[in-house]
Structure 1
Amino acid sequence: LDVGLGALGEQGMTDAIGLHGAPGASCPSFYLSFAELPPSEFMQVADSTWLVLSVVSNGRAPSGCQATGVTKIARSVIAPLAEHHVSVLMLSTYQTDFILVRERDLPVVIHTLAGEFDIYKEEGGECVPVTCDDVSNGFLKPKPGDPTLHPVQSPQTRFCVLTVAPDTLPAIATMLIDVLFYSHRFPSDLLLTSSTGELWRMVRIGGQPLGFDECGIVAQIAEPLAAADISAYYISTFNFDHALVPEEGIAEVIQLLQQRQESSR
C-alpha cells in the first residue's frame, strides 16, 4: 500500500508559527512561515514552533469512501494523535489538508503514525524518509479521560468552496491579498469549484477561545462525521474551530454532534 505523510518546510520540518490577536481583540489567527516579526501590542506569537504535515494518501480509508476534507483522515491521523494527547491545528484546502503539530511533539507523532504511514521530511526540495530511530524517544502512552466537549452552532450563512489553479497563483498573489482585505472584485476565470455547484454550511466549535493547548477538539468533530461518511473542511483558529459541511447534510451533522455531547454527559 503506497501511503505517505509528508512534512513540509525547507528548514528541516520547522516552518510555521501561529499568531492570534491580543486578548479581547476580534482579530483572526494566522499561520505564517517564520522569519522575523517585529514586536507589537496588537499581536501575540505562540511560544511553540509548529510543523506542517500533509497527508499524501490515506491508509485506513475504506475503498468506497467518497468523503473529502478532514473526514478522510479522521480515523488514520486525527483520532490516533488525539489518543496520544497531541494538540493539532487543522487547515483544510480544496487540494489537501494540512495538520500542524508542535515541534516538541514530533517524536510522539512519528511513533503514533509510523505503523500506518510512510513518513518523509522535505530537505532541499527532496523527500527524505523518516523512521522512529531518527527522532528522540518521546513516545507517550495514551492517558485515560475524555477531552472537553465544546458547544457547536451553525449560522445560516451559505458557503461555496473555491480554489485557485496552482499555476496561476504566483501571478495573482498580490492581487489575491488585495481582494481579501479590500473591496476590489476578484478577477474572472481564475477560480475553480465543484461542477455540481454544491453549497456548504459552517459549524462553529467552541463557546470561548480554544487556544493552542487542548487536545481532541478536531477529533470530536471529525470522528462522528467520518462514521457517517460526511465530508468536511476544517479550519482551526485561536478563538474557535470551524467545519464546513454540505448544506443538505447540516441537520444530520448537528444531530450527530449533539448526540455525541449528550452521550458524554
Structure 2
Amino acid sequence: MNLKKLDYLLWVCQLKKQHLPHCAHSIMEILLINKENRFFSFIESEGEITLIMDQETLQRFPKDYLTTSPKKYYALEITGPLGASAVGIIHSIAEPLSEAGISIFYLSSYQTDYALIAEDEFQKSLSTLSKHFTLLNTAIQIKQTSSGVSESSEYQENKNNAKKENRRKLGFHQKSLCLASLDKEEPFLLASYLLQLIFFVDKREDRFFSYHETNGIISLILSKSELSTLLFLQGDENFIRVYDNEFTRISIIDQLGIEECGIVDSIAAPLTRNNISLFYLSSFNSAHVLVSNSSFISAQTALNEKYDIIIK
C-alpha cells in the first residue's frame, strides 16, 4: 500500500442547510459543466453540509454562505487493495499520526481513501508516515523537527487523559445505507437525478448523503430507495458499481473541533482489533463511520469501551 500526495491544497467548508439554495448554481456547475478532474466532496448529515474542494472550485461559490477551515489541507491518496472488505487500513494510517500529535481529516470513497492533513503539519506527517509506507509524489522537503518521539507521546497522552473524563456518545443509525460509484461521463439523465438527490429532498433534517468526485469517478453513499431509483435510470447499461453489502452508519453525536487529534483512530483501532472493516467520513463538526449491517452488534461491543452507544 502506497500514499500519494495530490497536487493541490484543499479547503474544508461548512454550509448551513438553509443556505444550500444560494449555492445551487455553483454546485450545478461542478456536477454538470465542469469536466476537469477536480476533488469535490458534498457530505450532508443531520446538522450540517460539509464541502471539500480546491481553491479554484471554492472561488465559484458566493462568499457569504460558507464557513471555511482555518487551514488548508494536503491530501494523501491511499493506493492499494482497499474496499468494504479491507480491514485495518484506516488504523494503520491514523495510529502513527495520532501518536505524533497530528490531526487528520479522513475520507473513504468507493475506489480509494484520502487522509487530509493541515498544510503546516504536512512535513511532520511525511516524516512520520515514511517509517510505515512508501510515499509517492511528495514534492515537499521533509525537515526534521526538534520535537522527538517522547514529546509527541506526551502530547498524545495529555489528549487521551482529557478524553477519559468525558466519554463521547456514538449514534448507531438503523436506516441502512448503500455504496455506489459511476464515471462522471455517464448519461445526463443520471446527473439530473444526482441534482435531485442534493437539492430536492423531503426530510432534510435527519438525512445522510455523500457525493465525492475525483479523477472523473463519482462515489455515492445513499439510501436504499435512492439507489433503487438510480439503478432504474441506468436501464440495461449496468455502468453503476454497487457494493453487495448494506451499511449501518455510526456518528459522533458530540460536536468535534476540526483540528482535534486522535478521533479517527479512537474508532478505527477497536474496530480493527475486532476484524471489522469500516468506511470513515470526517465532516466539519462531526465524523461518520459505516460498517456492514452484519457487524452491527460486534461494532457496538468493540466501541462501547470508549464511547456511550445510542441506538437511533
* Shorter-chain TM-score above 0.5: yes
The answer to whether the 8 Å contact 2:17/2:48 transfers is: no
TM-score when normalising by structure 1: 0.77
Corresponding residue for 1:125? none
In the alignment, is the contact (CA less than 8 A) between 1:107 and 1:139 conserved in 2? no
Q: Offset at 1:90? A: 1.1
Task: State which of 11, 15, 19 in structure 2 corresponds to 1:17.
Answer: 11
Tell me the distance in 2 between the aligned counterparts of 1:102 and 1:76: 19
1:169 matched residue in structure 2:
184
Deviations 1:221-258 (A, max 9, x none): 00011111101111110122110101111111112111
Match of 1:104 in 2: 120
Number of residue equivalences: 233
When residues 249 and 23 of structure 1 are mapped into structure 2, their CA distance, relative to the original with a 3 A threshold, is: closer
Structure 1 residues not aligned, in runs of 5+: 122-128
Q: Give me the CA root mean square deviation.
A: 2.8
Partner of 1:46: 69
Distance (whole Å) between structure 2 residues aligned to residue 198 and residue 177 of structure 1 = 22
Residue 199, structure 1, aligned to residue 246, structure 2: yes
Q: Distance in 1 between matches of 2:133 and 2:108?
A: 20
SS at the partner of 2:306? helix
**Compared with structure 1, are the counterparts of its residues 137 and 50 closer, same or farther at alpha carbon in structure 2 (3 Å cutoff)?**
same
How much does 1:38 deviate?
5.4
Quote the Cα distance in structure 1 between the aligned partners of 2:142 and 2:118: 14
CA distance in 2, matches of 1:96, 1:108: 23
Contact persistence 1:119–1:130 (CA under 8 A): no
Pick aligned residue for 2:48 from 23, 27, 42: 27
User: Deviation of residue 218 (structure 1)?
Assistant: 0.6
Contiguous gaps of at least 5 residues in structure 2: 20-46, 201-225
1:108-147 to 2 correspondence within 5 Å?
108-121=124-137, 134-138=141-145, 140=147, 141=149, 142=152, 143=155, 144-145=157-158, 146=160
SS of residue matched to 2:185: helix
Task: Provide the C-alpha distance between the structure 2 equivalents of 1:139 and 1:79, rounded to a whole number of angstroms.
Answer: 21
Report the alpha carbon displacement of residue 37 of structure 1 after superposing the two structures with TM. 5.3
| Pair 1:8 & 2:6 matched | yes
1:89 aligns with 2:97: no
Would you tell me which structure has more helix in proportion to its own residues? 2
Secondary structure of 1:248's partner? helix
One-letter code aligned to 1:203: I
What is the CA-CA distance between 1:136 and the residue it aligns to?
A: 3.0
CA distance in 2, matches of 1:8, 1:107: 14
How many Å apart are 1:105 and its aligned residue? Answer: 0.7
Paired letter, 1:198? N
For 2:271 and 2:49, the matched residues in 1 are separated by 26
Give the alignment of 1:67-82 within 5 angstroms: 67-68=85-86, 71-82=87-98
Cα 1:212/1:139, change in 2 over 3 Å: farther
Where does residue 124 of structure 1 map in the other structure? none
The alignment partner of 2:48 has SS state of coil
Letter in 2 for 1:178: L
Contact 1:221 1:257 in 2 (8 A): yes
Structure 1: which amino acid aligns with 2:14? H
Establish whether residue 230 from structure 1 lines up as the match of residue 276 from structure 2. Answer: yes
